[in-house]
Each structure stands twice: as C-alpha cells, then as structure tokens.
C-alpha cells in the first residue's frame, strides 16, 4: 500500500514537472512571438504571473494540509493516551476500594501493560514497571491491607506525575512548571 502511494506521488510529481516545463517553453515561445506587440507581451507576462501565483498557493495549501493532518493525528494520539491512562487509574482505584486482588485483576493488569506499551513514553513505562513490582508484592496474598494500599498509592502517585508529564509536559514547560513542583 505504501509503495503504491509512493508510486502515485512520483507520477504526480513527474506530471507536474512535465506540465511546468511545457508551460514554461510555451510561454517563452509566446513571449518571443509577441515581441512586436508589447500589449500581447504584457498579457503573456500576466498569464505567467497568474500561473506562478497558483503554483505557489497550491504548494502552500498542500503544506498547510499536511501540518493540519499531523496536528489532528497528534490530538487523537493524546486522547488515546488519556483514555488508557484514565482507565488504568480507575482500575487501580477499584482494586484499592475492594481491597482484594483476584486472578481476573492480575489478567487485566497484564492487558494494561500491553496498552501502556503502545501509548506510554519510556519514562512512564519505567515507572510503571516499578509500580507493577510494588503492586504484585503488595497483592501476593490477594488481600490488601493499609500498608499494601499505601505502597501501591505511593508508586501510583509517582506514576501519575510522569503520566502528566507525558500528556501535557510541553504545556508545563511553557509555563515554567517543574516536575518537583507537581509532585
């Protein structure tokens, strides 16, 4: 599919270059033939200026469209990240509220690992691994007491700071907010 798209783009490029070359030589010929009539030369130059304006405008619009598409993809990816992170935090909240961990919860935790591997930054993944170790250590007996909950929430707090940095870190940097101020 990608190769087909590249071939199509190359064909359009060659067609455009051929059209521009033909147009250039045609207008040059028309300009030379109309040398004895200055008014006709002005019309040819006006046509040439119009064509140049159209080509430049088309190139600028094409670039603007590409930038808009990249921006839209970036927004969708951030929304996907937000959804995965929110679902993960909701999942941990539900476990801490029921104070037990069963086999289904452990399986869900594995699937969250896969989801996070798709969307999370390397820093978030590193902290998630530390969180996972604390979670499995605290839930080895399937019951969560106050100490277990504290250990899990401590690691979750550190993970949450990195999640925030992953989602809106650029905004914090623009506002000169440091990671230590957040935590």
> pLDDT (tens digit, 9 = 90+) per residue, 4-33?
778 888 888 888 888 878 877 887 787 777
Q: Do 84 and 24 reside in the same domain of the chain?
A: no
Q: Do 110 and 160 reside in the same domain of the chain?
A: yes
Residue 182 predicted with pLDDT over 80: no
Q: Do 82 and 164 reside in the same domain of the chain?
A: yes
Q: Is the pTM of this model over 0.75?
A: no
Q: How many domains does the chain have?
A: 2
Give the end of a domain, one of 18, 42, 71: 71
Q: Do 66 and 34 reside in the same domain of the chain?
A: yes
Q: Contact at 8 Å (CB) between 152 and 105?
A: no
Give the end of a domain, one of 71, 93, 109: 71
Give the end of a domain, one of 71, 86, 118: 71
Instruction: Give per-residue pLDDT as tens, 106-119.
Output: 999 999 999 999 99
Dist CA 150 CA 138 (whole Å): 9
Q: Do 52 and 113 reside in the same domain of the chain?
A: no
Q: Do 103 and 173 reside in the same domain of the chain?
A: yes
Beta-bridge mates of residue 155? none
Please name the residue that has the structure tokens 């927004």. 75
Q: Do 66 and 86 reside in the same domain of the chain?
A: no
Dist CA 165 CA 179 (whole Å): 8
Which strand (E) or helix (H) includes residue 86?
Answer: helix 38-98
Domain that holds residue 56: 2-71
| Residue 125: burial class (beta carbons within 10 Å; 0-12, 13-18, 19+) | middle
Query: Which of 6-10, 134-138, 142-146, 162-166 shows the lowest per-residue confidence on average (mean pLDDT)?
Result: 6-10
Q: Do 125 and 154 reside in the same domain of the chain?
A: yes
Q: Do 103 and 177 reside in the same domain of the chain?
A: yes
Beta-bridge mates of residue 100? 143
> pLDDT band at residue 178, thresholds of 50, 70 and 90?
low
Dist CA 97 CA 70 (whole Å): 40
143 token code pair: 């019951």
Residue 60 predicted with pLDDT over 60: yes
Dist CA 80 CA 180 (whole Å): 26
Instruction: Supply the mean pLDDT for the chain.
Output: 85
85 token code pair: 């992170």
Q: Do 9 and 55 reside in the same domain of the chain?
A: yes
Please name the residue that has the structure tokens 């700071």. 161
């Amino acid at each position: 599919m990608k190769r087909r798209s590249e071939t199509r783009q190359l064909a359009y490029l060659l067609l455009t270059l051929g059209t521009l070359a033909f147009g250039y030589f045609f207008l040059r010929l028309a300009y030379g033939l109309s040398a004895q009539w200055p008014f006709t030369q002005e019309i040819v130059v006006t046509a040439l200026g119009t064509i140049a304006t159209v080509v430049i405008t088309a190139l600028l619009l094409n670039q603007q469209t590409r930038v808009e598409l990249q921006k839209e993809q970036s927004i969708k990816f951030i929304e996907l990240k937000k959804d995965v992170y929110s679902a993960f935090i909701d999942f941990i909240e539900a476990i801490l509220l029921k104070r037990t961990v069963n086999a289904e919860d452990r399986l869900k935790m594995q699937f969250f690992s896969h989801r996070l591997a798709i969307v999370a930054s390397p820093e978030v993944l590193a902290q998630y691994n530390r969180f996972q170790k604390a979670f499995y250590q605290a839930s080895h007996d399937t019951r969560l007491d106050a100490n277990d909950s504290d250990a899990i929430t401590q690691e979750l707090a550190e993970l949450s700071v990195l999640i925030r940095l992953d989602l809106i870190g650029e905004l914090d940097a623009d506002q000169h907010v440091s990671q230590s101020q957040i935590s």
